[in-house]
Structure 1
Amino acid sequence: MEAKPYKISFITVNYNGLADTISLLESIRNARLSFAYEVIVIDNGSLKDEYSLIKHLFPDIKGYYNRMNLGFAGGNNLGLEIATGEFIYFLNNDTLLPNDADNEILAMLEVFALDSRVGGISPKIMYYHPNGMIQFAGCTPLTSITLRNKQTGYREMDKGQYDTSIEIPYLHGAAMVVPNRIIREIGVMSELFFLYYEELDWSCRINKKYKLVYFAGAHIFHKESASTGQDSPLKTFYLTRNRLLFAYRNRSGINRILAVFYLIGIANSTRLIKFVFSGMWRHVGAVCSGTWSGIKLFSKKNLS
């Protein structure tokens, strides 16, 4: 790799995902990128120090083993502390760059060069399996009260129907490119969420001043399964809690009151009834504890 200043800082967070992280780094290396870049790996509280094993295989990477799991935002924020690139490319550790990543990344950087109002880009995200299935090709805004939206292209086969770049309300956390200057101005992702909604919350902050773009001319592969599996109680807890926290932080006035009322009185109550009748008692507890935990975070200090 070339000497600093780097054009791109790739940041990925590893959590007991050694094999996936190695595959990602191999895809970056195999892409033979023409610009100066650095790769930062934060091992975010894995059961054992996997960073040392990764560093042995890829001596040029930067990063370290952090003994405590700080969540998605916390892990990425640790990477930002040592990143020196003009642009930051956040990638989930279970993603892969395509063979033509060099041209595609340069094309994304050209978007920033042509329009200084662009504050972040997410590429098209394809499922690694099945081949040709889209996970993300943009999204619609969350509704003001129910916080529902649609992820464009989700689980559709790619037939070129989303090959036009568009402005979007939110970046996708699995793959997002953000100029370092924007991060210095807006600030880093909030670590209040720990898991889920942190990139949506961050996108809202960026979008107050800058545009966000789905760029159809670039893509990555995501190993996340396209099959629908049963949610874990941990996922139920954080989704329940963080929807409330997101509503509190990103809605105001009557919309905030109505959104919180809807989430607690209708959405969470409906889920409770569903879990009770299904005998999923751990999920019942997760909804209750997630709701209470979210309410406890309602304070002025958590508004920014």
Structure 2
Amino acid sequence: MAKGERVADSVPLISLITINYNQAIVTCEMLESTRRLKYPRFEIIVVDNASVEDPTERINQGNYPNVKVVVSPENLGFSGGNNLGIRHAKGDYFFFLNNDTEVTPDLLDQLLAPFKTNSKIGITCPKIRFYDHPTIIQYAGYYPLNRYTGRTWSIGLGETDRGQHDQSGPTAFAHGAAMMVSRRAVEEGGAMDESFFLYYEELDWSMQIQRAGFQIYYQASALIYHKESISVGKTNPLKVYYHTRNRLLFMRRNVSGFPLYFFILYYFCFALTKAAFLYALKRQKEYLIALKNAILWHFRNKIRRPKKEALPQVVAVS
């Protein structure tokens, strides 16, 4: 039991699930920040996605609150790693947290509060600010998806936090860096789809959970800090591949009819053509290959339309 305290069974157990991939030091920094948490009953599941070095010993040496390390023999990606974490989690709520974040003391209490007031809430997300620019917002909810262009934007992104996004309420999408999900929402909505591997998986899951009848809720009074750069991360062929492949995958799984046909026309005639032209102009052959492979993937793989999937069997953890 967290912090060695005996807590009444009426207090929900929260399973904090985080993924480590060759970043043991960063993960330990996040775990160190969990000592600040005031919530009396939580466990931490660290899923290692086949890192070069097993982080178990380093993490255990830190003597962090109620931590279990689960080492995967293969890299399962974001969705697969989190699904593996669920299999080892005993909580009433799952809190998926990026390893490159720092928590605030009342984070779990604030994220849990909306569930008590509305049974239709399936996911809660905190306000996210950039760690290196602690007054700048990264996430304060999401705008609805444009079904014709496949675009959406994080509310407040890049803005100085002056309290302009302190109104809590339902939002279109959860943010993968920090999202608390009820066990009931996972049981009824299904686990994350593992075909994404990197990027777009939390957007797809948000749609999946909402189709099951649940809301996604932005809790403005909850706050974390994210160590992701405030600027757009450096592009590389792997990122080009998954962003290209998964944007199309997300739309094919979640949009149908005329909006999907319009998106495909827009995507191939404008977005992809523009990207290919720029890569060719800069002689970035490896990016062009990534772009080609991302599109070919769709011709070689049948797309599974979302459906309810059973909650992964929970493994008893001593």
Query: Shared topology, TM-score over 0.5?
Result: yes
* Counterpart AA for 2:190: G
> How many residue pairs are counted as aligned between the two chains?
299
Against the structure 1 CA distance between its residues 244 and 295, is the aligned structure 2 distance closer, same or farther, given a 3 Å change threshold?
A: farther
Which residue does 1:159 correspond to in 2? 162
Q: Which residue of 2 aligns with 1:12?
A: 18
User: Which residue of 48, 51, 56 maps to 1:51?
Assistant: 56
Moved more, 226-235 or 122-131: 226-235
Query: Which amino acid is the alignment partner of residue 276 of structure 2?
Result: L
Q: 1:121 to 1:303 in 2, by over 3 A?
A: closer
CA–CA distance in 2 between the matches of 1:72 and 1:3?
33
Q: In structure 2, give the amino acid aligned to 1:93.
A: N
Q: Tell me what 1:197 maps to.
A: 200
Report the CA distance shift for 1:72/1:112 in structure 2 as closer, same or farther (over 3 A). same
1:280 aligns with 2:287: no
Q: Give the deviation of 1:285 after TM superposition.
A: 1.0
1:219 aligns with 2:223: yes
Deviations 1:117-147 (A, max 9, x none): 1111110001001221111111111211211
Structure 2 residue ranges without an equivalent (≥5): 308-318
* 2:232 equivalent in structure 1: 228
CA distance 1:166–1:125, shift in 2 (3 Å): same
Whether the 8 Å CA contact 1:20–1:94 is kept in 2: the answer is yes
2:180 maps to what in 1?
177
Q: CA deviation at 1:278?
A: 1.6
Where 1:150 maps in the other structure, the secondary structure is coil
Query: What is the deviation of 1:47?
Result: 0.8
Amino acid aligned to 2:74: M
Counting aligned pairs with the same residue, the percent is 38
8 Å contact kept, 2:39–2:109: no
Segments of 5+ residues of structure 1 without an aligned counterpart are: none
CA RMSD of aligned residues (A): 1.6
1:289 to 290, 293, 298: 293
Q: How does 1:18-33 map to 2 (within 5 A)?
A: 18-31=24-37, 33=38
Pairing partner for 1:115 from 113, 118, 121? 118
Distance 1:40 1:3 in 2: 20
Work out which of the residue numbers 244, 247, 253 in structure 1 matches 2:248.
Answer: 244
Q: Following the alignment from structure 1 to structure 2, what is the Cα–Cα distance between the partners of residues 56 and 3?
A: 24
CA contact (8 A) 2:254 2:305 kept: no
Give the secondary structure class of the aligned counterpart of 2:52: coil
Name the counterpart of 1:141.
Answer: 144
- Shift in alpha-carbon separation, 1:180–1:3, aligned structure 2, 3 A: farther
TM-score, normalised to structure 2's length?
Answer: 0.89
Aligned equivalent of 2:93, options 84, 87, 91 = 87
Q: Deviation digits for residues 22-68 of structure 1, max 9, x if unmatched? A: 0111111133x232110000011111111232123236311321121
Alpha-carbon contact 2:77-2:197 (below 8 Å) kept: yes
> In structure 2, what residue type is equivalent to 1:214?
Y
The answer to whether the aligner puts 1:66 opposite 2:67 as a matched pair is no
- Kept in 2, the 8 Å contact 1:264–1:291? The answer is no
Per the alignment, in what secondary structure is the counterpart of residue 149 of structure 1? coil
- Pick one of 259, 277, 292 that aligns with 2:263: 259
Superposition deviation, residue 3 in structure 1: 6.6
**Does structure 2 retain, via aligned residues, the 8 Å contact 1:12–1:41?**
yes
2-structure distance, mates of 1:80, 1:255? 34
SS of 1:285's equivalent in the other structure is helix
Deviation (angstroms), 1:202: 0.3
- Amino acid across the alignment from 1:249: R
SS of aligned partner of 1:173 = coil
| SS class of match (2:175) | coil
Check the 8 A contact 2:208/2:306 in 1, yes or no.
Answer: no
Aligned partner letter, 2:146: T
Give secondary structure in 1 for the equivalent of 2:22. Answer: coil
1:192 is matched by which residue type in structure 2? S
Q: Which AA in structure 2 matches 1:120?
A: I
